[in-house]
Structures are given as C-alpha cells and as structure tokens.
Amino acid sequence: MLPPTKKKSLVDIVNDRIKTYIADHQLKPGDKLPSAKELNDMLSVSRSVVRESLISLQSLGIVQIKPGGGISVGEMSLGTVMDQIPFLWKSNSTVMKELLDSRIILELGAIELAIAHYDVALIERMNDWNRQLEWKISLNEQPGEEDVRFHLALFQATGNKLYIRFGDLVRDYFDKGQLDKINLPDALRSACKEHDEIVYWIKERDVEKAKACMRNHLEPLYRLL
C-alpha cells in the first residue's frame, strides 16, 4: 500500500509552480525567469518561501541564480544532482523525497518493460543476485553490492538500452544516498524475501502484483527521510 500522502509544503507548491511556468512558457536553458520579487508577487508567498524554493531548484540544476545576473533556467545534469546527494540527504528532505519518488517510478516502469520483453535469462540474473545476497546473510556477512546488483539486473531485463542507462541513477542513489544500507539481519532477510516475490510475479507476467511488491519493498524508505 502507498504511505499516507503528506500534505505539500509551500516550498513544494512553489517548486511545482515554477517548473510549470518553465514548461508552459517553453523556456530553454539560459532563458530568463522572473526575478525573486516578481515571483513573490506572482505566487503570493513570502520571500523566504521563494528563496528556499529557488535554492532547492538550483540544487537540482533546474534554475541558475547569478548574483546581479538574475534567475535563469539551468542546465539540468543528473551527475550534478548525484554529486550533491550526501549533502542533500542531510540538508534537504524535499530533494531526497523527489529522488526517491523518481527512483520508484523508474523501477515500476522497469517491471512493465521487463515483463513485456520477457527474457528468461535476464530475469534469472535478478534471481542469481538475490541468491548471492541470501548466501551472504546465511554466513552472517555484511552484503556488498548484491542488493544494488539485483535492482540493476531489473533494468537490464527491460532489454531497453536507453532505460538501462537509468540504472546509473539507481547505482548512484545506493552509493551516495546511503538510504538502502541495511545492517540488521531481520531487515536483510525481509529484503531478500521481497526480492523473491518481485521476481516470482515478473516470471508470472503479472504486472500489477510485481509492481505492488516493488512498492512494498521501496516505500518504507520514505520513513528514513
């Protein structure tokens, strides 16, 4: 089940409004945006809310703020965002929530593509990585990359070269976000069982049940934000 929907903060709402403004006006990187004061007036919010929103959007590369040079549309770079994850994890829960939202959407989409492509050998690689994770747990050893490899194998199973590149986002999310670092044996065993359920329903070609299992696997991470 989905976690209870959190009420959007004013900063979240302003973020969405600015992104909508960029899209509606078909602005490109480098194009000028209204000044902070104009945004205050347009959105009817305080200066502090607009300032916090602009800082958040700049951290994602969506806008660029130059002292004395105004605000412009930024050159959004996934690499730039990922390089900032350790800092954002500590200082900006809104950005981390958006990254987790994006990751879940990507993995749910990967399930649909993997079932449509249905390459048994590629799907079995997910199972192989989960067996290695299970083996580490049985030896009371701390797993290494087995968990992230399981999720990367899901992207490989899509057979879609462009979509496979999204796996880089998941890898960086694991490496830099540290959100999935599970240490407790019970939690590791639960993760392993959840992986098995995901693979089972993919093999059964049941998109909805496989996606429900993936949500059940990932959505508890919201509690760590």
Q: Rounded distance, CA 70 to CA 31, Å?
A: 11
For 31-52, the pLDDT digits (tens) are 999 999 999 999 999 999 999 9
Domain at 85-224, CATH class: mainly alpha
Which CATH code, of 1.10.1060.10, 3.30.420.40, 1.10.10.10, 2.60.120.620, is assigned to 10-76? 1.10.10.10
Q: Which of 71-80, 159-168, 178-187 shows the highest mean pLDDT?
A: 159-168
The DSSP secondary-structure symbol of 221 reads G
Contacts of 87 (CB under 8 A, 6+ apart): none
What percentage of residues in the chain have a pLDDT greater than 70? 81
Where in the chain are all domains bearing CATH 1.20.120.530?
85-224
Given this model, what pLDDT does residue 133 score? 93
Whole-model pTM: value is 0.62
Beta bridge partners of 32: 72
- pLDDT classification of 2: cutoffs 50, 70, 90: very low
- pLDDT classification of 134: cutoffs 50, 70, 90: very high
Where in the chain are all domains bearing CATH 1.10.10.10?
10-76
For 138-182, the pLDDT digits (tens) are 998 888 789 889 999 999 999 998 888 888 767 766 655 554 555
The DSSP secondary-structure symbol of 34 reads -
